[in-house]
């Protein structure tokens, strides 16, 4: 059976594989699974998951014009006078979603009618057993194999439920018009990216959070980000929301630090909730973390009573501590490999890929992986840290950049890269050679001088950081006479 036509309510429909969620899980049904009867179940407003429709992709498509406008407005230090740069909200919005919405529609149309072995079920479902689901219309779906990739959703505040001029990141970029005054509640990645976008487009933005912004990052990185953010939009910290009143003039919000703001709209970005509760996964007997994520083993198999359920897998935000598309994509590759391995009697593969990079496309950009110095030492490592400022390189001179920097955390004995923390232009790109070295077990010794670094390019920031780290290792290594003693 192909397509999304409903069967008779109450009649059990049996599939070889049911995939719940059309995000990263949608990549699993491939030619290798052409001999299996598959159901893809998804009730999202848009087909294709958060990243395509409301997250990674559209936000970065807004980030790019926002960066250009901000760089032009701040170009005085480079001799550039462009104070009157104006961004057209509607034009950017229509360009972005003209592309992503067409991809979403074509993906849904293909899954609905493009494959004889695939059925698309565009309904809400809930578990009634480990391999049995019931849809909102009463259809009963049973899968010999189940993959749960249902993702997560924005967390709602009791004082400010979503609706009207209070919205989440799902709807923020689809607004009919740019709000003149906007409050962004939250201090994490999503809130910090959206505050940068809206302020660059010309909105008066206040970002409020109960603690410093991005407080989980390296201390110097977080401190630098908070300082630069406060120059570009209003930042309120120690600002837990205490009151919210709506009137003709918009919203009046009161915070624990005594601050009060009046705004036209509010973007609530205070975290995300795994969608396991909407699937009633507890009814299936699955194990869960305290935050609601489904517990899985190293093969991505769902746990029940601490033991893995054969043929039941979970991936992405619904199970992972990393709410990142690149992590969900790799989870999906592991799951696909194990589904095939099960049917062919081969050993399952483990999800051991690491370390995990995290990037923040705010102003400025940030990219990190691994441990801070404090975390590494707390874990028992004899670690050292080096810092390379952008301003210490020719590319930094070209940028007139006196604030951006890269920090490396290195194991003193092995020279292994334990972490990297970059804040500044192109931070995600600059992180990659360090991530590659750490992923393949290459320590810092010889990494800088064992290859050419284009001059004068931004990558010299990384080269110089590696040279510093190697010098520190050499200086702290015991001499031969000390070893002899």
Q: How far apart are CA 9 and CA 444, in angstroms?
A: 62
CB 406 within 8 A of CB 461: yes
Q: How far apart are CA 292 and CA 314, in angstroms?
A: 13
Let me know how long the chain is. Answer: 485
Q: How far apart are CA 449 and CA 463, in angstroms?
A: 8
CB 159 within 8 A of CB 243: yes
Q: Which residues pair with 351 in a beta bridge?
A: none
Q: How far apart are CA 150 and CA 283, in angstroms?
A: 16
Alpha helix locations (H) across 302-426?
325-344, 373-378, 394-399
Q: Can you state the angle between helices 460-476 and 427-439, rounded to 10 degrees? A: 40
* Cβ neighbours of 4 (radius 10 Å): 17
* Cβ neighbours of 193 (radius 10 Å): 24
* Cβ neighbours of 30 (radius 10 Å): 9
Q: How far apart are CA 132 and CA 137, in angstroms?
A: 15
246 is catalytic: no
CB 122 within 8 A of CB 141: no
The CA distances from residue 468 to 266, 407, 416, 448, 459, in Å, are: 45, 10, 14, 10, 14
Alpha helix locations (H) across 253-372?
276-279, 325-344
The b/e string for 238-257 (b: 16+ C-beta within 10 A; e otherwise) is ebebeebeeeeebbebebee
Radius of gyration of the chain (CA): 25
338: alpha, beta or left? (left if phi > 0; alpha if psi -120 to 50): alpha
* Cβ neighbours of 214 (radius 10 Å): 25
β 417-423/405-411 pair status? antiparallel
CB 196 within 8 A of CB 362: yes
> Nearest-CA neighbor of 424 among 390, 385, 451?
390
Identify the active-site residue in 289, 299, 326, 455.
Answer: 455
Residues noted as catalytic: 455
């Amino acid at each position: 059976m192909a397509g999304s036509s409903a069967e008779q309510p109450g009649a059990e429909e049996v599939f070889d594989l049911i995939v719940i969620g059309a995000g990263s899980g949608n990549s699993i049904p491939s030619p290798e699974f052409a001999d299996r009867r598959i159901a893809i179940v998804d009730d999202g407003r848009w087909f294709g998951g958060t990243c395509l429709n409301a997250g990674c992709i559209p936000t970065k498509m807004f980030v790019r014009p926002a960066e250009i406008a901000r760089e032009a407005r701040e170009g005085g230090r480079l001799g550039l006078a462009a104070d009157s740069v104006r961004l057209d909200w509607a034009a950017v919005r229509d360009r972005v979603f003209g592309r992503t919405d067409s991809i979403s529609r074509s993906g849904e149309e293909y899954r609905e009618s493009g494959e004889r072995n695939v059925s698309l079920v565009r309904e809400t479902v809930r578990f009634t057993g480990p391999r049995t689901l019931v849809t909102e219309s009463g259809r009963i779906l049973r899968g010999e194999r189940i993959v749960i990739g249902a993702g997560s959703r924005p967390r709602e505040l009791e004082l400010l439920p979503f609706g009207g001029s209070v919205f989440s990141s799902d709807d923020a970029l689809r607004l009919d018009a740019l709000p003149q005054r906007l409050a962004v509640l939250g201090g994490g990645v999503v809130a910090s990216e959206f505050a940068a976008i809206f302020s660059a487009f010309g909105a008066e933005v206040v970002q409020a959070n109960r603690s410093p912004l991005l407080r989980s990052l390296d201390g110097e990185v977080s401190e630098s980000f908070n300082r630069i953010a406060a120059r570009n939009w209003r930042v309120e910290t120690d600002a837990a929301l205490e009151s919210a009143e709506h009137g003709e003039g918009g919203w009046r919000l009161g915070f624990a630090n005594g601050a009060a703001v009046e705004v036209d709209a509010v973007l609530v970005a205070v975290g995300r909730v795994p969608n396991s509760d909407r699937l009633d996964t507890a009814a299936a007997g699955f194990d869960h973390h305290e935050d609601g994520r489904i517990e899985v083993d190293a093969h991505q198999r769902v746990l029940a009573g601490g033991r893995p359920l054969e043929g039941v897998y979970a991936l992405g935000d619904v199970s992972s501590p990393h709410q990142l598309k690149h992590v969900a994509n790799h989870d999906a590759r592991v799951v696909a490999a194990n589904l095939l391995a099960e049917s062919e009697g081969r050993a399952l593969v483990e999800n051991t890929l690491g370390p995990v990079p995290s990037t923040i496309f705010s102003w400025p950009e940030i990219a990190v992986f691994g441990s801070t110095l404090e975390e590494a030492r707390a874990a028992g490592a004899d670690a050292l840290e080096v810092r390379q400022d952008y301003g210490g390189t020719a590319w930094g001179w070209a940028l007139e950049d006196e604030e951006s920097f890269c920090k490396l955390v290195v194991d003193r004995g092995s020279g292994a890269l334990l972490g990297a923390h970059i804040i500044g232009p192109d931070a995600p790109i600059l992180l990659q050679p360090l991530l590659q070295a750490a992923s393949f077990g290459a320590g810092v010794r010889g990494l800088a001088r064992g290859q050419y670094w284009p001059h004068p390019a931004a990558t010299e920031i990384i080269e110089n950081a590696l040279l510093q780290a190697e010098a520190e290792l050499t200086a702290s290594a015991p001499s031969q006479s000390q070893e002899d003693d």
